[in-house]
């Protein structure tokens, strides 16, 4: 399997990274090099093998469904590039 | 008395306890060394005022007889650990200026155990790299140079600032994180000890996430004993990390009995890879001889899926990274670039904020998780990962620990591998299997290359059996008698 310019443009948009037109071709070449490298996994027989879901032999703990943190909106907003009236501010999303 | 900067962590701890010097004196010595070593670019942020304040508090605790495991010891913190009100960047432009309103669990544990923070250490951007050259803040430099040469070498990565600083005596010890080898390989390149603990031993809470099923924090130090002390101060159960292991932290230092008699040490034949330099192979054989002389039995084992570890890693890690790094969207923290719409703002912010290697990995990760490709790549890789883990379980049914080289080469020159991602990835060939299987591994400095550069040997152990890893590593360290230090050319 290999990727072309159009595929790179599509995944770049999925990943929300702007890629200038002139960079699509070189990026496709780089990604194809990596994809060719990982292709060798097809040599491994994984017929009856379960995919790994957890590297440690553990089950996820549950906790009480209660609020244990919060109450400091200033801290939460402190690093925001734009914040107004106690909210994160973003470019307008509805007309 | 030798320079304060030459003391190991254990010696400094004992000297502080006997009041031979104060933490403030020790800390001031390190602040001086840190400032004198700026040519190495090991630190992104220096925090001398905070260090002195913490050192004074440590001296008060010592005076009151309330010293904890690392009271008064100056440490450097990889800039992947969130530190309250101290800039935390993950080596990325996208987080430049980020001041966390909270402290990571591992650093909280260190401060609770009395450690003193010198500053935040350079790293590959989001810990993605093996040479520290992907850092937005420029590469950290290895204090070691080849004999008779002055070419700048990489300190390894991603914890390259950590290894550079500790080797240059600009930090007594440092935190690192290891996803595919990012503690062990830089330790090997800089003549240091680096331990990646078992997955779940150290809390990941407050560490900027790269690949959550692989990431683990661990110590980079000058001796095995120091690593044992520091891991004890970093580790422990944390309810805030859902994969943190709820088991007691043993006294790792006590595990270093120096006795490996009767232990079985596995040597995986698949690690004898094509093109491995003779001197690495020779060092590995020496390591076997050392352990044999100490009374251990060397047993050949087979880890048949070893060659698939790197390709597995380069699917699993980018897939997890692409999800984890989705949070950098220009809304809540870090960089924001202008855009006419919300989507354009996201795309422009991420285009400007991430470097080339990070983008490459996000794109690969997005691709292997995208509709139609998930089964062929991601699911396949997770199945092969199961096989890699099974290989280790089978081997550990007959051996107590496994001995391998840490890296296929000594430190290389800046720029030598930046043009070829696969060549860079191959650096991690011996270190990548352990995080895929979740098991602990340590790198111990074991000798010098013909060019006079440090080389490390790696000891791998069973999950949650760091004690055996420390015990074997301690014996290797004693036998190797590695005392070489880089010459101070950077001041």
Question: Over the stretch B194-220, which tens digit does the pLDDT of each residue have?
Answer: 999 999 999 999 999 999 999 999 999
Q: What is the pLDDT of residue B30?
A: 98
Say yes or no: A12 contacts chain B, CB-CB below 8 A: yes
Range of the domain at B192: 4-258+411-480
Integer Cα distance of B443 and B480 in angstroms: 13
Cα–Cα separations (whole angstroms), residue B149 to B152, B163, B169: 9, 20, 21
Total domains present in chain B: 1
Confidence of residue B240 (pLDDT cuts 50, 70, 90): very high
In degrees, rounded to 5, the angle at the alpha carbon of residue B438 between the alpha carbons of residues B434 and B443 is: 40
Q: CATH code at B244?
A: 3.90.1300.10
Say yes or no: A41 contacts chain B, CB-CB below 8 A: yes
pLDDT digits (tens, 9 = 90+) for B44-57: 999 999 999 999 99
- Picking from B26, B82, B77, B34, the residue whose alpha carbon sits closest to that of residue B55 is B26
pLDDT digits (tens, 9 = 90+) for B478-490: 999 999 999 999 9
pLDDT digits (tens, 9 = 90+) for B388-432: 999 999 999 999 999 999 999 999 999 999 888 888 888 899 999
Q: Which residues of B are catalytic?
A: 78, 158, 182
Q: What is the pLDDT of residue B419?
A: 83
Residue B58 domain flag: yes
**Alpha helices, H only, A1-95:** 5-14, 21-38, 73-77
pLDDT exceeds cutoff 90 at A60: no
Residue B350 domain flag: no
Span B348-364, average pLDDT: 98
pLDDT exceeds cutoff 80 at A95: no
Q: Which two tokens stand for residue B373?
A: 């490709």
pLDDT digits (tens, 9 = 90+) for B77-106: 999 999 999 999 999 999 999 999 999 999
Say yes or no: A31 contacts chain B, CB-CB below 8 A: yes
Residue B225 domain flag: yes
Residue B319, sorted as left (phi over 0), alpha (psi -120 to 50) or beta, turns out to be alpha
pLDDT exceeds cutoff 60 at B1: no
Residue B361 domain flag: no
Say yes or no: B313 contacts chain A, CB-CB below 8 A: no
Q: Which residues of B touch A48 (CB under 8 A)?
A: none
Average pLDDT for chain B: 97
Q: Please, which residues 225-264 of chain B have a Cβ atom closer than 8 Å to chain A?
A: 239, 242-243, 245-246
Q: For chain A, give every domain's residue range.
A: 5-43
Non-local CB neighbours of B84 within 8 Å, separated by 6+ positions: B100, B101, B102, B103
Residue B220 domain flag: yes
pLDDT exceeds cutoff 70 at A1: no
Span A68-78, average pLDDT: 93
Confidence of residue B2 (pLDDT cuts 50, 70, 90): low
Residue B293 domain flag: no
Span B229-239, average pLDDT: 97
- Note whether B336 contacts A88, CB cutoff 8 Å: no
Span A42-68, average pLDDT: 90
CB pairs under 8 A between A and B: 167
Q: What is the pLDDT of residue B421?
A: 80
Closest residue, chain B, to A45 (C-alpha): B384
Confidence of residue B452 (pLDDT cuts 50, 70, 90): very high
């Amino acid at each position: 399997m290999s990727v072309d310019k159009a595929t790179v443009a599509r995944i770049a948009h999925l990943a929300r990274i702007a890629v200038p037109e002139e960079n699509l071709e070189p990026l496709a070449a780089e990604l194809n090099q990596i994809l060719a490298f990982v292709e060798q996994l097809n040599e491994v027989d994984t017929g009856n093998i379960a995919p790994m879901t957890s590297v440690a032999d553990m089950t996820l703990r549950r906790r009480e469904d209660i609020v244990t943190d919060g109450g400091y909106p200033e801290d939460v907003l402190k690093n925001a590039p734009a914040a107004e009236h106690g909210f994160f501010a973003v470019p307008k999303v509805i007309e | 008395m030798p320079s304060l900067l030459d003391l190991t962590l254990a010696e400094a701890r004992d000297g502080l306890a006997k009041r031979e010097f104060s933490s403030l004196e020790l800390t001031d010595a390190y602040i001086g060394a840190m400032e004198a070593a700026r040519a190495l670019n090991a630190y992104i942020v220096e925090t001398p005022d905070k260090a002195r304040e913490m050192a004074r508090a440590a001296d008060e605790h010592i005076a009151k007889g309330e010293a904890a495991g690392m009271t008064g010891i100056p440490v450097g913190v990889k800039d992947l650990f969130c530190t309250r009100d101290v800039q935390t960047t993950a080596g990325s432009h996208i987080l430049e200026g980020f001041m966390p309103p909270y402290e990571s669990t591992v650093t909280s544990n260190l401060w609770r155990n009395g450690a003193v923070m010198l500053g935040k250490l350079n790293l590959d951007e989001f810990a993605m790299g093996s040479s520290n050259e992907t850092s937005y803040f420029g590469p950290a430099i290895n204090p070691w140079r080849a004999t008779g040469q002055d070419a700048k070498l990489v300190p390894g990565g991603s914890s390259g600032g950590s290894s550079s600083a500790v080797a240059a005596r600009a930090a007594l010890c440092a935190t690192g994180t290891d996803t595919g080898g990012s503690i062990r390989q830089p330790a090997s390149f800089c003549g240091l000890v680096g331990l990646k603990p078992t997955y779940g031993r150290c809390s990941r809470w407050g560490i900027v996430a790269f690949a959550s099923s692989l990431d683990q924090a661990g110590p980079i130090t000058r001796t095995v004993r120091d690593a044992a002390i520091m891991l004890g101060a970093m580790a422990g159960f944390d309810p805030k990390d859902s994969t943190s292991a709820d088991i007691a932290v043993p006294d790792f230092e006590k595990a270093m009995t120096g006795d490996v008699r009767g232990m079985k040490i596995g040597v995986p034949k698949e690690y004898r890879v094509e093109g491995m330099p003779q001197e690495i192979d020779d060092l590995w054989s020496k390591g076997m001889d050392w352990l044999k002389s100490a009374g251990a039995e060397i047993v050949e084992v087979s880890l048949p899926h070893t060659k698939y570890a790197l390709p597995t890693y380069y699917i699993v890690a980018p897939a997890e990274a692409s999800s984890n790094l989705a949070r950098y969207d220009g809304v809540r923290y870090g960089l924001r670039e202008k855009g006419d719409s919300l989507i354009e703002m996201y795309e422009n912010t991420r285009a400007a904020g991430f470097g080339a290697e990070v983008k490459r990995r996000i794109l690969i990760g997005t691709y292997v998780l995208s509709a139609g490709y998930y089964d062929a790549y991601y699911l396949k890789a997770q199945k092969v990962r199961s096989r890699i883990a099974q290989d280790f379980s089978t081997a550990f049914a007959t051996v107590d620990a496994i001995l391998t080289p840490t890296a296929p080469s000594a430190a290389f020159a800046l720029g030598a591998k930046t043009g070829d991602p696969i060549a860079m990835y191959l650096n991690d060939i011996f270190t990548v299997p352990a995080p895929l299987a979740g098991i602990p591994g340590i790198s111990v400095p074991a000798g010098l290359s013909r060019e006079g550069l440090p080389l490390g040997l790696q000891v791998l152990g069973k999950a949650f059996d760091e004690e055996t890893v420390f015990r074997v590593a301690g014996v290797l360290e004693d036998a190797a008698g590695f005392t070489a230090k880089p010459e101070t050319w950077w001041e």
